[in-house]
Structure 1
Amino acid sequence: MPRIPSRFIPVLIILVGAFFYFPFLGRVHLFDWDEINFAESAREMIETGNYTRVQINFQPFWEKPPLFFWLQVLAMKLFGIGEFAARLPNAVVGIITLLVLYSIGKKMVDERFGVLWALAYFGSLTPHLYFKSGIIDPTFNLFIFLSVWFMARAVAAYGTARATGQTVLSGLFVGLAVLTKGPVGGLLLGLTFLVYWALQRFRPILSVRNGLAFFGCALAVASVWFGLELIKNGWWFFEEFIRYQIRLFSTPDAGHQQPFYYHFVVVLLGCFPMSLLAIRGFLPSATHGQTEQTVFFRRWMVILFWVVMILFSIVKTKIVHYSSMAWFPVSYLAATVLYGYLKGQLSWNRWLTGGIAIIGGVLGLLIAALPLVGMNAAALIPHIKDRFAAANLTAPVEWAGWEWIIGAAYGLAIAAILWFRRSQPLRSIVGLFMATPLLLWLVLPTIVPKIERYTQGAVIDFYEAKQGQDVYIEPIGYKSYAHLFYFRKKPPTNPNSYREDWLINGPVDKPAFFVTRNINIDQFRYNPNLEIIQEEAGFVFLRRKPVFK
């Protein structure tokens, strides 16, 4: 392959990132819960003009600080309230992340290593997909990674003047992480530092002066919001925020109770193909031929990986993106293996070929099967025991009939890449990590919108049809944020409207509409106040007329 001049590589990264991350951001509705939840908080900031208080349903939202919502607000101010603006901040962060990985890799080893590191992150399944989402974690993870990077550099520079600047930068990014997702931002770096320190037998690795500089900078940045809230509203908001964080760690959220090993499976499959290469990177033999600097930083990355995986395996609530911070050390370890392989320092094992073939083949089959399932939904419905899922498949969705080719082509591409691995190793690696982005680039505008029609299309249509009407509209029997964002709910004027019992049985002053699932309808079907007006794709829509005295 022709060598690209160094000065053009950052430009190429920006162009490739823009080509893959920006298109189709608004092609599909936001997904319940998290995407809609966060976009709604940003919308309510715009609606109320209050940019310091995080709200959901125009009530205090204890879960998250505001930094990511501010980014979404900025995008919504520029491009309007909608899916594109809600997802745009992460697409921009995706390009920045690739540039960061390339720059650090180049600084630490050389240009090739930087490119391989950025390529591994760019070309893996969930790391790539999440930069096209509207959730907080991609932005949060970048801040945490940078805080770990600068702290590692501070430790390496212990006893020199350079250490102070590195600790200040580490504190800056920890502060930004805390402003993005709360105390866990400080917890991840703190635990990683403590484990590293313990492995050094608690020998001095950071001066008191540098420690104070770190904490002072982190506190100053975090106080941009936390301090302001404390001054404006006293301790009650701060106390509720902390209580929520403790509750999140100690009790399982509904529907998110998973086994202890959940996140290990998620990282293995979700970070394909870099996760398979990273397994080799954990072995001591993978350090053969590495410099002292790369071995030093590898230790930090391994510790960070285990801190994330163990911490979020202990946490009762388990969601895919909770362990997403582990994607950075996984990408680093994968890059070290790729670099060693191309330099002839590491061999390519058969189990690695087998793992890529199996997971890549299964992924291709699943993508190919989705359109086939959709086109034959009527035949499958009698065999599905879940009444809601079965009803979802009755949604009117038009398939062109060729969509299965995308998954089949991906599987064939993986096979071809492995076939030519020996004769063209560099091209095979590039092909391996370009195949998944190309797959997602095709799947997102062609298959995902159809899947979304099955899962939530009917209910989103209902909410959008009610925009601008002076009515109450609420989901009952299940949790959702979709009505807030897609109905474009205004700040309530009647405090009773927050009470479900009042909306259903009280003296409502304007029409009220309700949405429930077919598996929950029996508890509302016989209420004389409610009238079923529509059933579609598993959702049941009800109406209640206002009470006039």
Structure 2
Amino acid sequence: MLKIAPRFYPLVLLFLGILFYIPFLGRVHLFDWDEINFAESAREMLVTGNFTRVQINFEPFWEKPPLFFWMQATAMNAFGIGEFAARFPNAIIGICTLVVLYLIGQRLYTPPFGLLWAMGYLGSFTPHLYFKSGIIDPTFNFFIFMGVWYLVNAVAAYSSSRATRYSALSGLFIGLAVLTKGPVGGLLPGLTFLIYWGLQRFRPILSFRNGLLLAGCALVVASLWFGLELAQNGWWFFQEFIDYQIRLFMTPDAGHAQPFFYHFVVVLLGCFPISVLAIRYITVWKAAPASDTTEPVNGELFRQWMVILFWVVMILFSIVRTKIVHYSSMAWFPVSYLAAYHLHQYLTGKISWNRWTTIGLIVLGAIWGILLAAVPLVGMNAPALTPYINDPFAVANLQAPVYWAGWEWLIGLLYGVAIIWWIIRVPRVGFRAITGLYLTTAVCLLIYLAQVVPKIEQYTQGTVIDFYQAKQGQNVYVEPIGYKSYAQLFYFRKTPPVNPKTRDENYLLNGPVDKPTFLITKITSAEDYRYNPNLELISEENGFVFFRRKVFR
């Protein structure tokens, strides 16, 4: 057991959150598409002063509501427009998440349980990394989780006065989730509630009045933007938003059509080590006891809700045709709880340690160690490996002049060794080995993000972003052709007014452009443009080809 009094656990988690989530937020450029897309929407809010309309390229962007962009714009106003500010809101949400998980966990069981839960979220790959990103989902998931937490409390309290307060709080957070990413913020808690209710044979578990209160609070919060948008601009924008959500569900987005089991693989590998620890209880269901108006939520009851929430997320987003890693990220909360539950059961002597858990942890830990070591080795030995790579763009990327000190691969090797060491020691030293396992992963990710990821980014997009930044402040057009990107908007710092004709590739290639025009494409598409008489080849670097219009008037 850690030699720290439980009353200091929240402070320890606060310190760890600041230590691991804040540093190096601005060390690498934002990644295309999502990070740059969202940061650009926030930047355009600041540029135009219009905070009620979400925009991209200074035209309406109906894919997302504005709450997260408001948070990013606030950070940009404080810290300046850049990577740090774009990622700062999620870092703060990450710190809040650690503290909240501890507080809920110690209420359900004990302070050590709460600490295990929070540490598991801190010390797992994708849950950790996403709090250092500029995408919407970490904030969105936090609001959904809080909505589900208060919903569980409302159901447990049923007809008592506390149920009214819990229902209002649940509605508040669900409304914030909807205001962050859209209707799915209400869909996930709603489906979870309906399945739990069905398993209770539809007996009364939430009064009609409290159900209306919950829905009403969620609607009021969501209407802070949806209602205002309808009042100011009518139905067309709202209709486009709904149509987009339907298209996302029904049709695969370009490059994101994956097999049905995609999200199960993502969660298993990405959420290491908590994914392995959660497996034992991921399918275990035990009927909940009858509601008691005086009994608070207990750990067993909450486990049942977490199992349902996990399967709701995994099945729903396996059905959705467009599959992206973070779509199933809401499942990370129940996975982290079930992992903590497994460890609590073991540490309190209720179950024995399963050798298959040890094997699973060692295998996945070794895989991660190998992968983390392999990436620098690929970069250091790129010339020898490129003859075996069939993707011309990837081959050209690897020609970027990136400096490797030569020791970076040791991060993965040492991580693999340390992980196996802690895993083997779990049956002997218990809590200390588990926290060591989690902290080892967190430290590895901190070092990797500082030393390796910036070098990877130089291969993938560093060249083109440097070009955009070099053109900042110039009265020119800078646009990609032959592929989709948002990088030119954010890193060129595009400002209005925008010539609507520049959204047409044919105008950029052949039309009477009224400014010097620079066009960028990938090497895989360059042949479509090399022989255009209006284009002059400027340079060809690391997979990107840069053209300039010869004549403009």
- TM-score, structure 1 as length reference: 0.97
- Partner of 1:422, secondary structure, is helix
Asked if 1:441 is matched to 2:477, the reply is no
Counterpart CA distance in 1 for 2:27 and 2:323 is 28
| Contact 1:533 1:541 (8 Å CA) reproduced | yes
- Please name the residue that 1:352 is paired with: 357
Mapped partners of 1:339, 1:482: distance in 2: 46
- CA–CA separation in structure 2 for the residues paired with 1:535 and 1:393: 14
Secondary structure at the aligned position of 2:390 is classed as: coil
Contact residue 286 and residue 346 of structure 1 kept, 8 A: no
Do structure 1's residue 320 and structure 2's residue 325 form an aligned pair?
A: yes
Aligned to 2:344: 339
For residues 281 and 115 of structure 1, the distance between their equivalents in structure 2, rounded to whole angstroms, comes to 19
SS at match of 2:479: strand
Structure 1 CA distance for aligned equivalents of residues 179 and 297 of structure 2:
34
Partner of residue 522, structure 1: 527
Query: 1:128-143 residue pairs with structure 2 within 5 A?
Result: 128-143=128-143
The equivalent position to 2:307 in structure 1, one of 302, 309, 319, is 302
Residues 2 and 238 from structure 1, CA distance in 2 versus in 1: closer, same or farther, beyond 3 angstroms?
A: closer
The residue matched to 1:423 in structure 2 has which SS? helix
- After superposition, the C-alpha distances for 1:217-267 in whole angstroms (9 at most, x for unaligned) are 111100110111111111111111111111111111000000000000000
Alignment of structure 1 residues 342-381 onto 2, 5 Å = 342-381=347-386
Distance 1:102 1:257 in 2: 37
TM-aligned CA deviation for residue 501 of structure 1: 1.0
Partners of 1:157 and 1:163 within 8 A in 2: yes
1:6 to partner: Cα distance: 2.8
| Equivalent residue number for residue 492 of structure 1 | 497
Quote the Cα distance in structure 2 between the aligned partners of 1:85 and 1:462: 22
- Cα distance in 1 between the residues matched to 2:539 and 2:110: 62
Amino acid at match of 1:430: T
User: Hey, what does 1:266 align to over in structure 2?
Assistant: 266
Give how far 1:286 is off: 10
Task: Specify the SS of the correspondent of 2:189.
Answer: helix
Give the SS at the match of 1:540: strand
Q: In 2, are the aligned partners of 1:286 and 1:336 still within 8 Å (CA)?
A: no
Q: Secondary structure at the match of 2:87?
A: helix
How high is the sequence identity, in percent, across the aligned residues?
A: 67
The within-5 A match list for 1:494-509 is 494-509=499-514
**Counterpart Cα distance in 2 of 1:441 and 1:132:** 10
Corresponding residue number in structure 1 for 2:195: 195
Aligned to 1:105: 105
1:399 correspondence with 2:404? yes
Task: Determine the C-alpha separation between the residues in 2 that align with 1:204 and 1:341.
Answer: 35
For 2:67 and 2:128, how far apart are their aligned partners in 1? 22
Deviation at 1:427, TM superposition (A): 1.2
Is 1:98–1:118's contact at 8 Å kept on the other side of the alignment? yes
Answer yes or no: is the 8 Å Cα contact 1:286–1:337 preserved in 2. no
Distance 2:40 2:238 in 1: 22
CA offset digits 1:259-298 (Å, max 9, x no partner): 00000000000000000010012354999xxx98222111
Amino acid in structure 1 at the alignment position of 2:445: L
Equivalent residue number for residue 253 of structure 2? 253
Q: Among 426, 435, 439, which residue is 1:430 paired with?
A: 435
Instruction: Quote the Cα distance in structure 2 between the aligned partners of 1:508 and 1:502.
Output: 7
Query: What's the secondary structure of 1:421's corresponding residue?
Result: helix
Determine the structure 1 residue equivalent to 2:216: 216
* CA deviations over 1:67-114 (Å, ceiling 9, x no partner): 000110011011000000000000000000011110111111111111
* 1:437 partner letter: A
> Which amino acid in the other structure matches residue 183 of structure 1?
P
State which of 534, 537, 543 in structure 1 corresponds to 2:542.
537
Q: Report what 1:411 is aligned to.
A: 416
What is the count of residue pairs matched by the alignment?
Answer: 545
Q: Distance in 2 between matches of 1:128 and 1:531?
A: 45
Task: Determine the C-alpha separation between the residues in 1 that align with 2:32 and 2:109.
Answer: 42
Q: Corresponding residue for 1:421? A: 426
Q: Which residue of 1 aligns with 2:290?
A: none
- The residue aligned with 2:178 is 178
2:476 corresponds to which of 467, 471, 478 = 471
Other-structure match for 2:62: 62
- Give the corresponding residue for 1:483: 488
Which residue does 1:89 correspond to in 2? 89
- Map of 1:234 onto structure 2: 234
> Is the 8 Å Cα contact of residues 285 and 307 (structure 2) preserved in structure 1?
no
Q: Is the 8 A contact 2:167 2:210 kept in 1?
A: yes
Letter in 2 for 1:356: L
Cα distance in 2 for partners of 1:122, 1:491 equals 41
CA distance in 2, matches of 1:411, 1:543: 48
**3-state SS of 2:426 partner:** coil
| TM-fit CA distance, 1:546 | 4.6
Q: CA deviation at 1:187?
A: 0.5
Kindly provide the CA deviation profile for residues 164-201 of structure 1, in whole angstroms up to 9, marking residues without a partner as x.
11110000001000000000101101111111111111
Q: Which amino acid aligns with 1:251?
A: T
- Residue 22 of structure 1 corresponds to which residue in structure 2? 22
Q: Which runs of 5+ in 1 are unaligned?
A: none
Q: Which moved more, 1:260-269 or 1:423-432?
A: 423-432
**Structure 2 unmatched runs, 5+:** 288-295
Relative to 1, partners in 2 of residues 1:142 and 1:493: Cα closer, same or farther, differing over 3 Å?
A: closer
Contact 2:153 2:297 in 1 (8 A): no
Match for 1:409: what amino acid?
A: L
State the alpha-carbon separation in 2 of the partners of residues 5 and 354 from structure 1: 33
Cα-to-partner distance string for 1:332-355 (whole Å, 9 max, x where unaligned): 100001111111111111111111
Give the match for residue 13 of structure 1.
13
1:450 aligns with 2:455: yes
Structure 2 CA distance for aligned equivalents of residues 395 and 286 of structure 1: 56
Query: Given residue 136 of structure 2, which amino acid in structure 1 is its aligned partner?
Result: I
Q: Is the 8 A contact 2:286 2:304 kept in 1?
A: no
- Name the CA shift for 1:228/1:162 in 2 (closer, same or farther; >3 Å): same
Residue of 460, 463, 480 corresponding to 2:465: 460
Q: Report SS of the residue matched to 1:515.
A: strand
Q: TM-score normalized by structure 2?
A: 0.97
Alpha carbon RMSD of aligned pairs, Å?
A: 1.4
Deviation at 1:545, TM superposition (A): 3.8
- Cα distance in 2, alignment partners of residues 119 and 492 from structure 1: 48
**Which residue in the other structure is 2:390 paired with?**
385
Distance 2:487 2:403 in 1: 24
Deviation, structure 1 residue 418: 2.4
Tell me how far apart the structure 1 counterparts of residues 327 and 347 of structure 2 sit (CA, whole Å).
33
